[in-house]
Amino acid sequence: MAAIRPDDWNLPLFLHLLGAMVTVGALVTAAYYLFAARRTGSLDMVRTGFRTLLWVALPAFVVLRVAAQWLLDKEGLEDSEDAWIGIGFTATDIGVLFLIIATVLTGLAVRRAGRAQAGAQAPGTVGTGTTVAAWLTGVLIVAYTVAIWAMATKPV
Amino acid sequence: MYDTLLFLHLLGAFVTFITVVVFPAYAVGIAPSKGSFALGDWAWNVSGVLLLVFGVWLALYVDGYELWDGWILGAIVLLGIATAFGARARDEVLAQLGEGGEPTAAMVNTWHWLRTASVVAILVLMVWKPGA
């Protein structure tokens, strides 16, 4: 591969890989905290899951997606109908919706908990939103594992 | 065969970044828990096995690559260095978990970012393959 890849593809490929790896690392970390929060009722864990999604997964996702487009342009594959490119687009374009929904749901859960504490109310459970966010994050991990397989094996 | 080896090697690289993301949380003041520490620790060990086993296998399998190519040797050395840095970060977190002492976030941070820099340097070698 190195022998046939032009040098000017390397930077977008590096950024694409780095963005993808940080995104997946952040999703697994967030999933751990959100599922643990469901089990323990810990709002600190919901907050850590929310921050991981907002500050790590979303920015890394932007790097992954922009670099992917840059790479496609370099390779002249913008109009390709190869299966591996389709899998990549599906995982990222639908996946970003899941990512945004999970981030918003956990953000709302953290905000509600803050208001409950400010009003001296019982904080209660971590909420349905956290559960939904945890499962959405889990689905994203599976989808991105399939995308990694597609990028490595490049089925047509 | 090549595709499977590449997928498993690449999967190892992705798993490495679970550790890369888990540890900085401790540096921004989040108290380490046994669960999150186990996740980061497990990810590093699993990724190390996947990277080394399937990376070496790839180097032997692909015509034109040799184990003693500079970029491959460099990556193996950097993985060793990253593991050494990670062990220091790990010891800091273990001390907090075991003794319940004050968090030494600065030390976790320092060792962990040195490990992360080594991991990113490996990725640079894998993409640019200098000398290949």
Q: What is the ipTM of this complex?
A: 0.88
**Three-state SS sequence of chain A:** CCCCCCHHHHHHHHHHHHHHHHHHHHHHHHHHHHHHHHHHCCHHHHHHHHHHHHHHHHHHHHHHHHHHHHHHHHHCCCCCCCHHHHHHHHHHHCHHHHHHHHHHHHHHHHHHHHHHHHCCCCCCCCCHHHHHHHHHHHHHHHHHHHHHHHHHHCCC
Contact A131, A78 (CB under 8 A): no
Is B58 in CB contact (< 8 Å) with chain A? Answer: no
Which residues, including other chains, have CB under 8 Å from residue A146's CB and lie 6 or more apart? A87, A91
Measured over all CA atoms, what is the biggest interatomic distance in chain B, rounded to whole angstroms? 53
**Full-model pTM:** 0.89
pLDDT at res. A2 = 45
| Cβ <8 Å between A28 and B43 | yes
Mean pLDDT of A142-151: 93
The DSSP result for B24-85, as a single string, is: HHHHTTPPP-HHHHHHHHHHHHHHHHHHHHHHHHHHHHSTT--TTSHHHHHHHHHHHHHHHH
Report the percent of chain A where pLDDT is more than 70. Answer: 92
Stretch (H or E) spanning B86: helix B70-99
One-letter identity of residue A118? A
pLDDT digits over B79-110, tens only?
999 999 988 888 878 777 776 555 567 777 78
**Which of A18, A22, A152 minimises the CB distance to B6?**
A152
| Cβ <8 Å between A21 and B39 | no
Q: State how far residue A34 is from chain B, nearest Cα, in angstroms.
A: 12
pLDDT at res. A17 = 94
One-letter identity of residue B94? L
pLDDT digits over A6-56, tens only?
888 899 999 999 999 999 999 999 999 999 988 888 888 888 899 999 999
What are the sequence ranges of the domains in chain B? 2-128
- Assigned fold of A13-153: Four Helix Bundle (Hemerythrin (Met), subunit A) (1.20.120)
pLDDT digits over A46-62, tens only?
888 999 999 999 999 99
What are the sequence ranges of the domains in chain A? 13-153
Per-residue tokens: A116:
């409950």
Residue of B nearest to A153 (CA): B3
